[in-house]
Amino acid sequence: MEEYINSIPKIIYHLDEPIADPSAISLYFLSKTASKDVKVVMSGEGADEFFGGYNCYLDETDLKMYNKIPYFIRYILGKCFEVFPEFKGRNFIVRKGKRLEDGYVGVNKVFSEKEKRKILKISNYIKNEKIIKSSIDISRNECDIIKMQRVDIDNWLTRDILLKSDKMTMANSLESRTPFVDKEVFKIASELPTEYKISKHMAKVALREAAKKEIPNESYKNKKLGFPVPLREWMREAEFYNEIKKTINQEFVAEFFNQKYILKLLEKHKNHRQDNYRKIWTIYIFIKWYEQFFIEE
């Protein structure tokens, strides 16, 4: 763990921006290892966004019965559940109690508008609906799956996935090529009916069927997995917990954040009362980025 934690400042430096995607750590070390043997690698960025690979897209097919509940009932349920602490299923009910345009900001949303108001000291931050407005306007007459894909292509893919891949590989003198984001591949993907992207219990339908013809085993059936880093557990270890706490308590942090509230999130996570690692990590990365580029320099 110590080696990975000590690498965070270097990773932030190479990213240039406060990108709080934990997989940057994995990608950095994978690139470091690969660079010992090769100078160019192929990577799969874009496949999930173009061909419908994210598990949240499955809600539109696997949970059709819930979607048939009248919107005003789902809205009331969502508002009621929003006041409860997080538990399994809560976020789904809250999310389904809103129109996609009001609640969806991408496949890896971290903070609700309500929580942002508690955390931030500034009031002129950009709200979620404004972030996705142009994407929603373009796809307004499409189904929710297409709207989600558009939002994720415009935001998650271009502002996180591709940026992170390029910078973590180049930090190790490695070139990453991403064939799925070729314009001809996008053209094919954009013309596919949604049932060739998402079906009941299965994402990336067309891509899996194509893989089935070429891959000599049944790995094409595997459920989508991310590129996980055990941050959830690391944050409960004394060494990293104390480092985060020390970082949050710095004087300049009070200009941006409600430190007392964030420390409560950290304590609840450490004591297994809430799973707050993504929220804490997002704030921690911003602070370390700001410290590196604005305080130390």
Interatomic CA distance for residues 297 and 292, integer angstroms: 7
What is the pLDDT, as a whole number, of residue 12? 96
Cα atoms found within 13 Å of the Cα of residue 59, Cβ hemisphere only: 19
Which residue stretches of the chain have pLDDT < 70? 297
Tell me the β-bridge partners of 198: 203
What is the pLDDT, as a whole number, of residue 248? 98
C-alpha to C-alpha distances, 288 to 129, 208, 249, 269, nearest whole angstrom = 27, 40, 12, 20
Name all contacts of 32-40 with Cβ < 8 Å and 24+ positions apart.
32/172, 34/172, 34/174, 35/172, 35/173, 35/174, 38/174, 39/173, 39/174, 39/175, 40/174, 40/175, 40/176, 40/177
What is the pLDDT, as a whole number, of residue 22? 94
Dump pLDDT digits (tens) for 115-150.
999 999 988 888 888 888 999 999 988 988 999 999
What is the pLDDT, as a whole number, of residue 113? 84
As a whole-number percent, the residues of the chain with pLDDT over 70 amount to 100
Q: Are 201 and 62 in contact (CB under 8 A)?
A: yes
Both structure tokens of 133: 């407005």
Dump pLDDT digits (tens) for 155-185.
999 999 999 999 999 999 999 999 999 999 9
Q: Please indicate, yes or no, whether the overall pTM of this predicted structure exceeds 0.85.
A: yes
What is the pLDDT, as a whole number, of residue 195? 92
Q: Which DSSP helix (H) or strand (E) runs through 176?
A: strand 175-177
Q: Are 254 and 121 in contact (CB under 8 A)?
A: yes
Residue 257 phi, psi (nearest 5):
-125, 155
What is the pLDDT, as a whole number, of residue 99? 82
Rounded (5°) CA angle 192-195-199: 140
What is the pLDDT, as a whole number, of residue 154? 94
What is the pLDDT, as a whole number, of residue 130? 87
What is the pLDDT, as a whole number, of residue 30? 96
C-alpha to C-alpha distances, 59 to 75, 98, 148, 149, nearest whole angstrom = 17, 14, 11, 13
Q: What is the DSSP letter of 153?
A: I
Single-letter code of the amino acid located at 146: I
